[in-house]
Amino acid sequence: EVQLVESGGGLVQPGGSLRLSCAASGLTFSHYYMNWVRQAPGKGLEWVANIKQDGSETYYVDSVKGRFTISRDNARNSLYLQMNSLRAEDTAVYYCATVVGGVDYWGQGTLLTVSS
Amino acid sequence: DIVMTQTPLSSPVTLGQPASISCRSSQSLVHSDGNSYLSWLHQRPGQPPRLLIYKISNRFSGVPDRFSGSGAGTDFTLKISRVEAEDVGVYYCAQATQFYTFGQGTKLEIK
């Protein structure tokens, strides 16, 4: 069974930094693109970033370009999101997600709150 | 980027009656591998999204057969044959053909 478990969320001041992690199991992690998706309070789902299987290509939504960095460690079956220069509008639940054989798998999410 | 547009955004339904949600993509979702990566997700308050349907019409494990998906190209539909109380929440269509984008969500509520 595929499992994705996010961690690392918390309360950060505007301008601060935080790194989120996602531990994957039940799949051959190195075979799949991985995504970060977020959901602001009371809002819909927003794709944030993704990374190719070997980490050689990364893509971002415009609002986080230059501030967020997605990375992965295939030896540790782990996905990361380094978030710098955080803003109030980055407040959201962050999910890691992937598609395996056409099937979408999501974690439970981790909450980031950016506030002074 | 592929834009996903859902209608309606709100759907009051009587228990036991059918419900239908439409989703349109701004370009074809047919991938170079021949598959269309169109999914339907259901989310209850305070919970993560849960997969219902993948690749347009395939029910995920444990999903009741009152849920069905159909469509092709750029137009897709989720149907619930008889709405039950546990079906309330927000439904999202999602495409993973090119990156991963979502419809705005459709709130299903009981009349």
> Which tens digits make up the pLDDT trace of A89-100?
999 999 999 999
Asked if A102 lies within 8 A of B37 by C-beta distance, the reply is yes
Which residue in chain A has the smallest CA separation from B96?
A99
Q: How confident is the model at residue B57 (pLDDT cuts 50, 70, 90)?
A: very high
Q: Which residue of B has its CA nearest to A99?
A: B96
> Cβ B41–A102 below 8 Å, yes or no?
no
Q: Is B41 close to A104, i.e. CB distance below 8 A?
A: yes
**Predicted confidence (pLDDT) per residue in B70-89, tens digit:** 999 999 999 999 999 999 99
Beta bridge partners of B101: B95
Tens-digit pLDDT profile for residues B29-47: 999 999 999 999 999 999 9
Structure confidence at residue A89 (pLDDT):
98
B105: chain A residues, CB-CB within 8 Å: 44-45
The chain A residues in contact with chain B (CB within 8 A) are 35, 37, 44-47, 50, 59, 93, 95, 97, 99, 102-109
pLDDT score for B104: 97
DSSP string across A29-94: GGGS-EEEEEE-TT--EEEEEEE-TTSS-EEE-GGGTTTEEEEEETTTTEEEEEE-S--GGG-EEE
For chains A and B, count residue pairs whose Cβ atoms are closer than 8 Å. Answer: 52
Contacts of A46 in chain B (CB under 8 A): 102
Cα of A47 to nearest chain B Cα, Å:
6
Q: What is the dihedral of CA B76, B54, A109, A97, to 10 degrees?
A: -110
- Low-confidence residues of chain A: pLDDT under 70: none
Of A44, A50, A108, the CB nearest to B48: A108
- Report the distance separating Cα A106 and Cα A22, nearest Å: 10
**Which of B39, B99, B105 is nearest residue A50 as measured by Cβ atoms?**
B99
Mean pLDDT throughout B81-108? 96
Q: Do B54 and A102 lie within an 8 Å CB cutoff?
A: yes
